[in-house]
Structure 1
Amino acid sequence: MYFHIDLDAFFASVEQVDQPELLGKPLVVGALPGNRGVVSTCSYAARRFGIHSAMPISEAWRRCPQAVFLPVRMARYDEVSRVVMRIFESFTPDVLQVSIDEASLDMVGTEALWGGAAAAAARIKAAILEQTGLTISIGIAANRYVAKLACGLRKPDGLVLVEPGQEAAFMLSLRLADLWGAGAKTQQRFAELGIRTMKDLAAYNQALMQSLFGKAGGQFLYLAARGQDPGIYGHESARKSIGTELTFEEDSEDRELLEQAILDMCQQLCLRLFQDQKGACGVQVKLRYHDFVTLTVQASQPSVYSCLDEICKAATGLFHAKWNGHAVRLIGVSLFNFSTEARQAELFGGATERAGALDKTVFALQQRGLGKMTRARLLKRPSDKDKPPAPD
């Protein structure tokens, strides 16, 4: 069985653990009001106002000006994430970390140690709560995709178990809106075709599905509607790379916003390199359009990238090499081909010594909890039409 585990409102929950006076309050973590940027995550109290991740911060402010807005403290979240992943690894050696707050665990063969699926899930929940103060939601199924869908059904602190052989029946119980990977434009296409339920979708054969949604999109939907894994994690080589990605609530063709997202992700990944004292020789960029077409492009060099600017320049160049100007649903950046043998001077130094020294200073301050240190481009002022009103 696979356990898909998601930390509930992770960034916001960490802030609430560190500052208990924020419990129960609308809390938004991301860009600050008056700056251009998006919501990284928000508390469940903020979600009641319609705020969600990847929403422009100006819109979040408009919906809930009384919310507490905090900047992202990536070093702190990464620290907690590492603790959580180590706890997962104490239950099974097969942990696929999907993102900083999400993992897929293969629990096959652990029954003698932890009991059945429900008992093992209860043990994991208790361990996370005791050691971090955080709650998690768990979906359990015979494949990773159904486990992921199950995970999102009863958040926060949820547990949903789909018994083996019940995957197709489980899918029929869902709404079309619950179908992970089917965004707003796909949902609109469903409506145009008269597809109103999962039963309607499952009635389409593979050939018809691909003719309507494209080869990749049709194949994905055909398998997903039947409770089969469409291979959402590819060849599962996450241990050989580190990466992060952002899914936009609404597809975006805003070049400036996309480039800022790349810079933000590169900064997160460089902090990981700094903490691990290793370098990366390879960069990969992933793009997904509204029709499920997913493109990846990568480049590598003989020596490690020596600073954030080098990595960001490489990632941005790869992005523009593949981007056709159409609206993007998802964008991601990964680093690979690691080296731990490079001289310390080459890591965030070397030929770009001045830039590398700046990176070292910023990352060191972030490690000490001063998460407000970041690149000025990530704090770029919005236009007047995007700028929220000043607080009273």
Structure 2
Amino acid sequence: MPFAGQERVPPETHRRRRLTDSRCPGQSVSLLPGPKPSILHVDMDAFYASVELRDRPELRGKPVAVGGRADKRGVIAAASYEARKYGVHSAMPTAQALCLCPELVLLPADFDKYTAISQQIMGIFQRYTPLVEPLSLDEAFLDVTGCERLHGDAVTIGRALKGDVLRETGLVASVGIAPSKFLAKLASELGKPDGFKVIEAHEIRAVLDPLPVSRIFGVGERTAKRLESLGVSTVSQLASRARADVMREFGASGAWIHDLAHGIDPRRVNPRREEKSHGLERTFERDVTEREELRLVLYEFCEEVSHELRHRGLRGRTVTLKARYWNFKTVTRSKTLELPVNLGKRIYAVARELFDRLPPGPLRLLGVQLSNLTDVRAPAQASLFGGLEPRPGEVPADVAEKKLERTTQALDKLRARFGAGTVVPGSLMSRASLRVREREGEREKKDR
């Protein structure tokens, strides 16, 4: 059924007061649609695949993808534009990609190389403005407000850095320029590949109106279907609805997508974007049923995640467990702690609790993530029960925690010297070793 309000709302109703450009150095201005496009979104075209094609020119013109092997249940990380013509895309299972394109050239990922090149590219961006917000290894937002005297207007800067990237890395970037982050990203997407597109303030309606509503950031498949059931399939139709009616249907997210339909996006470019979470997950070569084996994998993940958090000087309060079953049903469970942690034993205790509550069944993927991250130097609120006297024979909580921290520091040194898998809890190790011996015995019997 349609929304209650059917009248087209005048654009003036949705205009917001424009803030004056009085930013301090190192801060981004409010990004409401204004007369000058000053936000750039730069996205490297098929980044991983393009890096490999640059280094292996004999593969140019062929369908190429970077990803895991099909027999290892791998997925595609990036596909060249030649491969995309066959329907191959990122996050697709490699086996499916090979069915769509049997002549696909599959290359392993080299993330150390991609990271080094990404740092080189971000360095090029920072020549033009300190306001660079990386979104991933291959894309970033830039705010070039106030840089005209040094480097020219946004269009001049965009063309210059696009040329610098090609000349210095041999890679092609698509550049979108607009008054806001949403519109800049949309511009780069519309211009791909090897794109350079500018959306001026007076062009916003002409660009947005004919687009499917799914092009609005935040409108996923489910939201798009709900909108279509309400008679909304284009951005123009969404923009014409009364804002209150959209909010009535979708809540706060309704206000967000309605604003974007009018080109309104107040988000600022944030060069000091904080990491929101850190985690690790793995797709197994085969479905795993044995709970002991899965607990060992989970412990290893918790140790690796905790080690990385300590390395970055972070702690996290929310532990999230992710499991995907043999039938591709995905289940997540989370628990938020009173105090942030970065010790593997503490993280594993929570993850193990969440794991033990999962329904039984073969798993094809398992993962753990920590979110609500804080700096280790940030003061932690004292526990409500921190002042209670310990029971007879019980070690005080703060003493036990300090002891665990010292033990963890010692283990970090051992792992740094002898390898990540040096230390494993005895209970898990004995079970895992027994399982390994059983499998080795089974293989020996088969070999006979």
Is TM more than 0.5 here? yes
The separation in 1 between residues aligned to 2:58 and 2:137, in whole angstroms, is 25
Gaps of 5+ in 1: 247-258, 288-294, 324-330, 340-344, 362-392
Q: Give yes or no for the alignment of 1:102 onto 2:139.
A: yes
> Partner residue of 1:358?
419
The structure-2 alpha-carbon separation of the partners of 1:285 and 1:181, relative to structure 1 and needing over 3 Å to count, comes to: farther
C-alpha distance in 2 between matches for 1:266 and 1:159: 43
Q: Distance in 1 between matches of 2:85 and 2:244?
A: 41
Q: Per the alignment, do residues 310 and 6 of structure 1 end up closer, same or farther by CA in structure 2, a change over 3 Å counting?
A: farther
The DSSP-based 3-state class of the residue aligned with 1:40 is strand
Give distance in 2, aligned partners of 1:7 and 1:266: 33
In 1, are the aligned partners of 2:66 and 2:78 still within 8 Å (CA)?
yes
Higher relative contact order (CA 8 A, sep 6+): 1
**Residues 69 and 141 of structure 1: CA distance in aligned 2, closer, same or farther (over 3 Å):** same
**Would the aligned equivalents of 1:12 and 1:27 in 2 still touch at CA under 8 Å?**
yes
The answer to whether structure 1 residue 281 and structure 2 residue 318 are counterparts is no
Residue 137 of structure 1 contacts residue 155 of structure 1 at CA under 8 Å; is this kept in 2?
Answer: yes
User: Percent of counterpart pairs with the same letter?
Assistant: 34
Say yes or no: does 1:143 pair with 2:180: yes
Counterpart of 1:90 (choices 127, 151, 159) is 127
Alignment partner for residue 275 of structure 2, among 230, 236, 241?
241
- Whether contact under 8 Å (2:306, 2:342) holds in the other structure is no
Q: Tell me the distance in 2 between the aligned counterparts of 1:350 and 1:313.
A: 18
Structure 1 CA distance for aligned equivalents of residues 302 and 219 of structure 2:
27
- Summarize the Cα distance change of 1:123–1:298 in structure 2 as closer, same or farther, 3 Å threshold: farther
Counterparts in 2 of 1:208 and 1:98: CA distance versus 1, 3 Å = same
Change beyond 3 A, Cα 1:296–1:19: farther
Residue identity opposite 1:36 in structure 2 = R
Could you tell me how far apart the structure 2 residues matched to 1:201 and 1:33 are?
42
- 1:2 and 2:39 matched: yes
1:171 and 2:215 are equivalent in the alignment: no
SS at match of 1:153: helix
Structure 1 residues 201 and 68: CA distance shift in structure 2, 3 A: same
1:65-214 pair list within 5 angstroms:
65-212=102-249, 214=250
Query: Do 1:141 and 1:163's aligned partners in 2 also have CA atoms closer than 8 Å?
Result: yes
- Three-state SS of the structure 2 residue aligned to 1:241 is coil
Q: How far is the alpha carbon of 1:273 from its aligned partner?
A: 7.8
What amino acid is aligned across from residue 115 of structure 2 in structure 1? D
Deviation at 1:48, TM superposition (A): 0.8
Flag the 1:297–1:236 CA change in 2: closer, same or farther, 3 A. farther
Distance 1:215 1:316 in 2: 32
| CA 1:57–1:240: 2 relative to 1, 3 Å | same
Structure 1 residues 217 and 332, CA, compared in 2 at 3 Å: closer, same or farther?
A: farther
User: Residues 338 and 207 (structure 1 numbering): CA distance in 2 closer, same or farther, change over 3 Å?
Assistant: same
Task: Answer yes or no: is the 8 Å Cα contact 1:139–1:159 preserved in 2.
Answer: yes
RMSD in angstroms over aligned alpha carbons? 4.3
- Residues 108-142 of structure 1: CA distance to partner in whole angstroms, max 9, x if unpaired? 01111222222111100111111111111111111
User: CA, structure 1 residues 123+237, in 2 after alignment: closer, same or farther (shift >3 Å)?
Assistant: closer
Question: CA–CA distance in 2 between the matches of 1:84 and 1:315?
Answer: 39
Alignment CA distance shift 1:132-1:10 (3 Å): same
Cα distance, 1:359 vs. partner? 4.1
For residue 376 of structure 1, what is the aligned residue in structure 2?
Answer: none
Judged with a 3 Å threshold, the aligned counterparts in structure 2 of structure 1 residues 283 and 134 are, in CA distance, closer, same or farther, namely farther
My pick for the range that moved more, 236-245 or 25-34, is 236-245
Q: How many residues matched?
A: 318
Per the TM alignment, residue 178 of structure 1 is displaced from its structure 2 partner at its CA by: 2.6
Residues in 1 aligned to 2:225 and 2:258: alpha-carbon distance in whole angstroms: 17
Alignment partners' CA distance in 2, 1:242 and 1:359? 25
Q: How many angstroms apart in 1 are the aligned matches of 2:165 and 2:346?
A: 34
Amino acid paired to 1:54: A
Maintained 8 Å contact 2:213/2:224: yes
- 1:215 counterpart residue number: 251
Three-state SS of the structure 2 residue aligned to 1:97 is: strand
1:290: which partner in 2? none
What residue number does 2:263 align with?
A: 227
Residue-by-residue CA offset, 1:199-244 (whole Å, 9 max, x unaligned): 11111222211232x213312211111111164x7x9474443768
How far has the Cα of 1:268 moved from its partner?
11
Contact in 2 for aligned 1:283/1:314 (Cα 8 Å)? no
TM-score (norm 2): 0.59
Sort the Cα spacing of 1:237 and 1:286 in 2 relative to 1 into closer, same or farther, 3 A.
Answer: farther
TM-score normalized with structure 1 length: 0.67
Larger radius of gyration: 2
Which residue number corresponds to residue 375 of structure 2? 337
SS of equivalent residue, structure 1 residue 108: coil
Give the letter for the 2:255 counterpart: Q
